[in-house]
Amino acid sequence: MSVEQIGGGDGNFFVAARGWRHPAWKESFYPEGLPVDWQLSYYSNEFRAVVVPAEEWAKADAREVARWQEDTDKAFRFFFEVADLRNNWMDFQAVVALLAGQVGGILLRPTHCDSDLTQLELSLQRARQLAPVTVILPPGLTLSDAGQHRLLDYGVVPAWSAGQGASCWEPGLLALACADATVRTPRQWREVVENCLSFGAGNGAVLLMMEGKTPDIEALRMTMMIADMLPAAEALR
């Protein structure tokens, strides 16, 4: 079974929430009475991408995944989170194959891992065959030289946590910035977006992921608006 990859160097900038089925959004974002099955379609009318949490795709059957494709435009992108190092890659490949060219990338997010990333080797190999990959390291983990070289060998750029120092992007096919529900001013969000855009044209896609129990819809809107206003974003269209 083959999966159409998103090629590197397309230089797209995406802003996405981690998940779209947030209970609090029923009052703050989705219209009253909107069926749950219509939430993704409504979300995709305003935003260009979403991160599918590991627990979400793991319980979805082929029929539901096919509906995700039907409910979104061809330009909409799905970024898949993979948290289990024992992930069944055959099952995962069957899921992403149903979305074909709409798969924007894979976010490897192990809950634990060694500093050399030897435990992540198989996941890097398998994921890299399917789509551009980034890695969200477990909290507190500092990579060894071997771990850093392993990511470089695969062309994988580790995620940057927005607000925790400046980003230090390496060349790669997918850059990820993670942002939580921390309230930021427009100026601070601009700095986050500028850091994302500094990944630069000629590399791959840049994803700014809003996460937390209830991703901030207004922050999603603000960052998209800021990106549209920045001249640097024109090179990433």
- Mean pLDDT value of segment 15-28: 95
Residue 98 has pLDDT above 60, yes or no: yes
What is 13-236's CATH number, 3.40.50.620, 2.60.120.680, 3.20.20.410, 3.40.50.360?
A: 3.20.20.410
For residue 102, the tally of other CB atoms under 10 A from its CB is 19
Distance between CA atoms of residues 173 and 189, nearest Å:
24
Between residues 233 and 38, the one the model is more confident about: 38
Residue 6 has pLDDT above 50, yes or no: no
Residue 110 has pLDDT above 70, yes or no: yes
What is the pLDDT at residue 150?
Answer: 94
Tokens for 104?
Answer: 């924007």
Which pLDDT tens digit goes with each residue over 25-84? 999 999 999 999 999 999 999 999 999 999 999 888 999 999 999 999 999 999 999 998
> Residues 110, 141: contact at Cβ < 8 Å?
no
Between residues 170 and 160, the one the model is more confident about: 160
What is the pLDDT at residue 160?
Answer: 87
The most confident of the ranges 119-123, 165-169, 231-235 is 119-123
What is the pLDDT at residue 165?
Answer: 65
- Mean pLDDT value of segment 144-171: 83
List the domain boundaries for the chain.
13-236
What is the pLDDT at residue 201?
Answer: 54
Closest CA to 109 of 78, 83, 140, 134: 83
For residue 165, the tally of other CB atoms under 10 A from its CB is 9
Place 5 in a pLDDT band, splitting at 50, 70 and 90: very low
Question: Residues 6 or more apart from 1 whose CB is under 8 A from it?
Answer: 93, 94, 97
One-letter amino acid at 219 equals A
Place 87 in a pLDDT band, splitting at 50, 70 and 90: confident
Strands 133-135 and 157-158: parallel
> Which residue matches tokens 């999966």?
3
Place 233 in a pLDDT band, splitting at 50, 70 and 90: very low
Which pLDDT tens digit goes with each residue over 162-217? 866 666 667 677 989 998 867 678 888 898 888 888 876 566 789 999 998 889 99
Residue 11 has pLDDT above 50, yes or no: yes
Instruction: Give the rounded percent of residues in the chain with a pLDDT score beyond 70.
Output: 86
